[in-house]
Structure 1
């Protein structure tokens, strides 16, 4: 029993130490977006087409190499600043894999099997794009978001609402002058979003102070969730014998399901997961190795905990179900094709 506790604690610390730098990287990037980038211009340049938006969002991770811990605060920030949901969800699912660090690490591990590197990138990009596009059917994302996030998300006005909209100066109420000729109603949510969008004009020392405050606040919130997820993942790794999962690795379908379950349980960072799964290369099918490499960075225990800081439980279930089904179909095709 003591040995199991020691193993669990060692795994817990390794997961935490491995993931915390990438969570910090994501939080810092989120703060930089808030304080040093005019997000109104950034969001305005994003494509409005749902499918194209999901594809662009999935590819943005190549420019910002964050792990499955660091992508959550960035995706949350994108949603709160009005980015289309396909863009944010595409980034959320693809960023842990579609980035140069992970691609290089996968190539290093599977130098003798370059098809795994190529298929990992292609499958991750395809799944993230499709899932983001599916979520675009939800016109108003607020019912699927946590209250703290939903409060900062402005729903898309319908055509009738845009046509019926009355100029602010002709409405009753109290207004705050944002810019000359641009009054803003003194609503708490609107005012907060407007003030956040104008922080890029503040002096550098003040922006740095705000960046520090924002980093501490988000690390306190997301770090607690990461600790809990890492503890659960470590406990399951110790309590569930690996032999149980290995015994399922012979068939084209059971091997994929086993590796998807393993990927969700071990919650290993996408920058090193290729070296972990390499140890199974001699006993598991190519499709099952890909299932681990594709599904794990999208959906694992500690990642689900972090996603719950953005989405309500049913939205996370939707993400899980869609990603799992698409991963199974694509990797099963690889197994059957190779067989």
Structure 2
């Protein structure tokens, strides 16, 4: 447990360092690109890169702000028990309920894995939790709004994204229901019981304190809730913002220094563009509230099926979420879900455009 925490802190530190270096790089371009023409800093490609980078950041930022505020409110005021009461025992109905929860509670993939771990510990079926992990970051009003806005001239992309994500989550959830007969969590039941006992003991002590001084504690409790909402929102904003920064930087470099002809050559052939965009979605690890703007920038390079594969596969399985899942779930469970998602997104993105 301690080693996992240290590894997460080390990974976060490396990501923060890379984001800081990226910011310094962008700042350097703006400070020195006003030099006399002829210098490398005044190269037209660098000017194009700056334009692409800033446009992606400015278009995506409002959606991230809305998303983190809603996520913070849900994190503080909606308990896991409230969500769990609505999960029916029927597997199909359970997965459908997970889809509805994704619509009601727009949680980004950055925070959905830790939340699901708590729900599984408290009795949420594994197949429902799996469906929620896959569908939650995509089928929600914020993602639909951002996708619809990014593809103003092609609104059908927003509906196809929601439909394909729902179908894949349903199929993968049913596969997990039929196949998985083991505890998917890495943490042992004993360890979970220790945490639960500590949680109960802590809140029992808090209950006694509330009984002793109800009015004062009520005021402090409200202030604490507001502070917790603000703290969670700020933390999640910077956490998602640094990944958006890295993604915008990489996409800007790719769009600037790799021509459309070269990209089309890489993705030339039946289905190869879909595989290429899925790989790009995995590596960029963009937030689902902003990846539609990145996909839209490739509209003149790849067909709609490839862009759809990018927007569905990336939020379901990317480098960032894979590392988080491996820290929480057993490797064989992550491998099963990963293989199912990869195959279904690839096939689905080919079939839906035919």
Q: Pick the aligned partner of 1:91 from 122, 132, 141.
A: 132
Task: Rate the CA distance shift 1:305–1:151 in 2: closer, same or farther, 3 A.
Answer: same
Cross-structure match for 1:323: 341
Q: CA deviation at 1:147?
A: 1.3
The corresponding residue for 2:312 is 294
- Provide the C-alpha distance between the structure 1 equivalents of 2:203 and 2:129, rounded to a whole number of angstroms: 18
Deviation per CA, 1:128-163: give whole Å up to 9, x if none: 12212222232332xx312178843xxxxxxxxxxx
How far is the alpha carbon of 1:85 from its aligned partner? 1.6
- The structure with more helix, counted as a fraction of residues: 2
Alignment of 1:76-87 (within 5 A): 76-87=117-128
Q: Name the CA distance, whole Å, in 1 between partners of 2:147 and 2:322.
A: 23
2:298 matched to which residue of 1?
A: 280
| SS across alignment from 1:284 | coil
Q: Which runs of 5+ in 1 are unaligned?
A: 153-186
CA contact (8 A) 1:295 1:327 kept: yes
Give the structure-1-normalised TM-score: 0.68
Output the CA distance in 2 between the equivalents of 1:308 and 1:28. 27
Q: Secondary structure at the match of 1:281?
A: coil
Question: Deviation of residue 127 (structure 1)?
Answer: 0.9
Cross-structure match for 1:72: 113
Q: Counterpart in 1 of 2:181?
A: 139
- Native 8 Å contact 2:64 2:290 kept in 1: no
**1:243-295, Cα deviation, whole Å (9 max, x unpaired):** 66543223231010000011111112211211111121112111101101111
Aligned residue among 243, 247, 251 for 2:269: 251
Aligned counterpart, 1:181: none
Q: Is the 8 A contact 2:283 2:319 kept in 1?
A: yes
Q: 1:32 aligned to 2:77?
A: yes
User: How far off its partner does 1:307 sit?
Assistant: 2.2
Rounded Cα–Cα distance in structure 2 between residues aligned with 1:199 and 1:85: 32
Change (3 A) 1:145 1:242: farther
Give the Å deviation of 1:319: 1.9
CA spacing shift, 1:43–1:139, aligned 2, 3 Å: farther
Q: Deviations over 1:27-70 (max 9, x none)?
A: 66344344xxxx54642431111222122112311111222213
Deviation at 1:119, TM superposition (A): 0.9
1:333: how far off?
1.0
- Map 1:65-214; keep pairs closer than 5 Å: 65-136=106-177, 137-141=179-183, 144-147=184-187, 151-152=191-192, 188=194, 191-192=197-198, 204=218, 205=220, 209=224
CA distance 1:117–1:309, change in 2 (3 Å): same
Normalising by the residue count of structure 2, what TM-score does the alignment of the two structures yield?
Answer: 0.65
Deviation at 1:78, TM superposition (A): 1.7
Contact kept, 8 Å, 1:265 with 1:300, in 2: the verdict is yes
Aligned to 1:166: none
Given the superposition, is the C-alpha separation of residues 199 and 257 from structure 1 closer, same or farther in structure 2, using an over 3 Å criterion?
farther
Instruction: Tell me the alpha carbon deviations over residues 306-336 of structure 1, each in whole angstroms, 9 at most, x when there is no partner.
Output: 223421333222222111110011111134x
Matched, 1:269 2:287: yes
Shift in CA distance, 46/332, structure 1 to aligned 2, threshold 3 Å:
same
Structure 1's 147 and 196: CA in aligned 2 closer, same or farther, altered over 3 A?
A: same
